[in-house]
Structure 1
Amino acid sequence: MVSVNSYGQIIGDALPNWQVCTFPERKTLRGKFCRLEPLKVEKHGRNLFSSFSQMGDDRLWTYVPLGPFKDYDDFENVYAKLAQDSSALHFAILTAETDLPIGTIALIRIDNGNGSIEIGFVVFSPALQRTPMASECQFLLMKYVFEDLGYRRLEWKCDSLNEPSKACAQRLGFHFEGTFRNAAVYKGRSRDTSWLSITDYEWPIIQKSFEAWLKDNNFVEGKQQRRLVDIRMEIAKGAEHHKFP
């Protein structure tokens, strides 16, 4: 339904009950395959550095404003600052199977006044890449942001040349919004930044699709039987059919 003011101008949807969102807390988020713990270098640092080193080269750091690191001391200095950053919340991703940290992820650019927040600093070790944990950890953050904190918008930004990152975001349910040209300079390079997002309007279908995807019967010997994208499309189609019989 289109809203029009007294001057005949089209305006945005009214939010009569809008309140400033809660700033994320340093709390552990638990899932079936993994859990997210607020980053503590003294607890997670050594194992994180070891898990990242399993890549065998520096490709993990190409598209993030961190690294590569020459040794653990270098890594510890950088990640200690991230852990202490009061404007963001950095997590270590621990596997339920081994109870060891194998990746990091963060909530950044937190605008609780407008209900907007971003997922960033996503660094997955080889042990985390292309596993159910890699998707579940994103879902845990999404659910925390929309369900517990009441945000309206969750953002994903990446170097426009980082095709795997864009593909990952879209698989998770983020919508591509556009590219900001010459948006940043990092590591001596120019960066065009791709913007993607999920809004609170889209969240219910995304939540249902993740919950269906994560069910025990969707995994046989650790392998998915139905893709997350296919489940989401099916749920969305059913919602449209219900809306327009």
Structure 2
Amino acid sequence: MPEINVYGQTVGDALPDWKGASVLPRAVLEGRYCRLVPLDADSHAADLFDAYAQAPDDRDWTWLASERPTSVEAAARWVTGKAADASLVPYAVIDQRSERAVGLVSFMAIDAVNGSVEIGHVTWSPRMKNTVLGTETVWLLLRQAFCLGYRRVEWKCDSLNEASRRAAERLGFVHEGRFRQKMVRKGRNRDSDWLSMIDDEWPQRDAVLQRWLAPENFDEKGQQRKTLAACLVGGRVSDD
């Protein structure tokens, strides 16, 4: 708990045992519905190009830094750039049913000294929409980060990207504020919304997510029986 120091000032919680978080390895994260594998152009570019090509237009790319790849070669260059970036831990999302890459995500803004990391470069394809894959992907990343000693996991999005913010809040991230004129993205101003989940919150969030992800929560068509909100003990049931 906060303390009063010798000068009569209120100071933050003491962390006498804090030694920093562990390195986030580029290692496979295995789930029930998907697995996350280290991103590789040779293995994933063609699948990702095909997955993103299922969309009828580019609306899913409006708030992203990148443009939708127009060829397998363009997808390979895009993937290679992320895979070669030492500041990222980038993953391809592999659908366990098809064994094909259907999306991309990364750990970024990695600060092991202070125990903070961001989930970013979130680029889902139409093959992930209205499926369990997006939720399980984020749960796998959260589990990995908190297991390795991170105290804080961040989610950031364009303030106008309401779908991204709603998705983060549905998963249990807490909105912290808005950074005005944070960047210029595709020639336009971007105000950025910041959200986070911290280690004290993780056990409860983990339990809710695991209840939602359980096989018995889905019917034979893969449709949820209970919403994530309904899986929150004592929570208000609503449509997600």
* Alignment TM-score, normalising by the size of structure 2: 0.94
Matched, 1:127 2:127: yes
Maintained 8 Å contact 1:205/1:235: no
Q: Give the structure 2 partner of residue 178 of structure 1.
A: 177
SS at structure 2 position matched to 1:56: coil
Letter aligned with residue 191 of structure 2: D
Distance in 1 of aligned mates of 2:84 and 2:232: 37
Letter aligned with residue 80 of structure 1: T
Runs of 5+ unmatched residues, structure 2: none
Percent pairwise identity = 40
Distance in 2 of aligned mates of 1:225 and 1:70: 38
Distance in 1 of aligned mates of 2:204 and 2:104: 26
Alignment of 1:5-154 (within 5 A): 5-147=5-147, 149-154=148-153
Distance in 2 of aligned mates of 1:68 and 1:211: 33
* Alignment TM-score, normalising by the size of structure 1: 0.92
Runs of 5+ unmatched residues, structure 1: 237-245
Task: Report how far residue 93 of structure 1 moved.
Answer: 0.3
Letter aligned with residue 181 of structure 2: N
Relative to its length, the structure with more helix (as a share) is 1
SS at structure 2 position matched to 1:43: helix
What is the aligned-residue RMSD (CA, Å)? 1.4
Deviations 1:184-228 (A, max 9, x none): 001111100000000001111001111111222211121111111
Maintained 8 Å contact 1:49/1:75: yes
Distance in 2 of aligned mates of 1:58 and 1:155: 26
159-168 or 64-73, larger mean C-alpha shift: 64-73
Letter aligned with residue 96 of structure 2: A
In the comparison of the two structures, how many residue pairs are matched?
235
Deviations 1:14-50 (A, max 9, x none): 1110012112101100111100001001001101110
Task: Report how far residue 70 of structure 1 moved.
Answer: 3.2
Q: 1:233 to 1:62 in 2, by over 3 A?
A: farther
Deviations 1:63-103 (A, max 9, x none): 11111333222222121010111111110001111111100
